Chains A and B, each alone.
Chain A
């Protein structure tokens, strides 16, 4: 049991991330990417990280900067190559980052499975393709499936819209993406939020991530251009 810690800075929230940690990083492109927490991780000493995230960084900030500085030993993701993924591209071409490519739905389900205590699962996605090579397969009711294992982590860094003082979270629109499943799959979950409200201010029917999944919360001011208006 642990109660959520409301922290004053992103740096404080991630500074004790150990070298070699496996880190889940939320977001789908920029939507839901916990930029302040990633920047804080960059400012910490942590290196030799394994990062699990849908993409491998965009532009020069956040995850892209972590990769640029060679702090990421391995990335597990579905879609590394993008028009602005130059830091990943360079690291990969130099052989300085390991890539485990996972179909997006399998990535999500492996993270979900970790949080739900599932030992492994058979999924049809990828059966008969290069991404299933070397994996256990089984035919069930005439259909081919591939055995996939959970993706557990030491730390999850996610972005949510609003937290209450217990750490219950609500999200905004498609920025929810990997947040709820990552929150459940890590030993320590850190959420950056736009706003922290008193206990009781969130309608319990609307809570998406219950507080028992959340260990640390940091309020981060989004620039007006990124605030996206009212929820």
Chain B
């Protein structure tokens, strides 16, 4: 369909990582957002939270470092960093719900123009539903960012006026990082902050919603 290429997943992860202030408490969702941890500057002091009960999560564990008692939310063996802490599930979700995390980055099927998020269920009745922590995470940080491709494989936009997939949370997303651009969602509307290999007019033509041009010089 589209001949647009934009930027790759790792380049996008680098863009998100650069926007995370030093010292932030951050939860990275399963899938694409996990890549962000590879691009956080050493010494940035960013502490990663995983909802199964760890603050100060380190990189994925390999070989002798694998410990079945130490996994991330995707149940992948990980490591702990100096200064880490463990806590039970209710405390872990209280940290999120209570607004103690600075940033949460999630994947999505769709994000609406007012920041509604759909990322937990395709809506197909034959699919066994599974929500996990998605709904808690969507509301669980001071800022919720989404990282996704802007278009589906069929070329349909995932940034939409109104979500058609079942909702995860209402008006919770404030920023959307995609392969073609970075979008800011505020009461003013949806603004484009960055463009990746595409002109503003071309991007606007792909989406069925009003876009403000806030691209940086």
- In angstroms, Cα B140 to Cα A129, docked, is 16
Asked whether A31 is an interface residue with its Cβ less than 8 Å from the other chain, the reply is yes
- Please determine whether B90 and A129 come into contact, CB atoms closer than 8 angstroms: no
Residue of A nearest to B135 (CB): A103
- Please determine whether B167 and A105 come into contact, CB atoms closer than 8 angstroms: no
Q: Identify the B interface with A (CB < 8 A).
A: 50-54, 67-71, 75, 80, 86-90, 92-94, 96-97, 121, 127-136, 139-140, 166-170
Asked whether A30 is an interface residue with its Cβ less than 8 Å from the other chain, the reply is yes
> A97 CB to closest chain B CB, in angstroms?
11
- Please determine whether A104 and B167 come into contact, CB atoms closer than 8 angstroms: no
Residues from chain A with a CB closer than 8 A to the CB of B90 are 108-109, 111-112, 181
Residues from chain A with a CB closer than 8 A to the CB of B54 are 173-174
- In angstroms, Cα B67 to Cα A128, docked, is 39
Residue of A32, A89, A101, A225 touching B69 (CB-CB under 8 A): A32
> B66 CB to closest chain A CB, in angstroms?
9
- In angstroms, Cα B53 to Cα A180, docked, is 12
Asked whether A179 is an interface residue with its Cβ less than 8 Å from the other chain, the reply is yes
Nearest 5 A-B pairs (CB), nearest first?
A: A105-B93, A105-B136, A112-B90, A29-B75, A175-B69
Residue of A28, A79, A109, A208 touching B93 (CB-CB under 8 A): A109
Asked whether A44 is an interface residue with its Cβ less than 8 Å from the other chain, the reply is no
Some 24 contacts from A to B, beta carbons below 8 A apart, are A28-B53, A29-B75, A30-B75, A32-B69, A79-B130, A79-B131, A80-B129, A81-B127, A81-B130, A101-B129, A103-B132, A107-B89, A125-B139, A128-B167, A128-B170, A130-B166, A130-B167, A173-B69, A174-B69, A175-B70, A176-B53, A179-B88, A181-B90, A208-B88
- Please determine whether B97 and A174 come into contact, CB atoms closer than 8 angstroms: no
Q: Chain A 153-178 against B: per-residue CB contact (8 Å), 1 yes, 0 no?
A: 00000000100000000011111111
- Please determine whether A108 and B68 come into contact, CB atoms closer than 8 angstroms: no
- In angstroms, Cα B88 to Cα A172, docked, is 11
Apart from A79-B132, A81-B130, what 5 extra A-B contacts exist at CB < 8 Å? Answer: A80-B129, A81-B127, A92-B128, A93-B128, A176-B86
Residues from chain B with a CB closer than 8 A to the CB of A108 are 88-90, 92-93
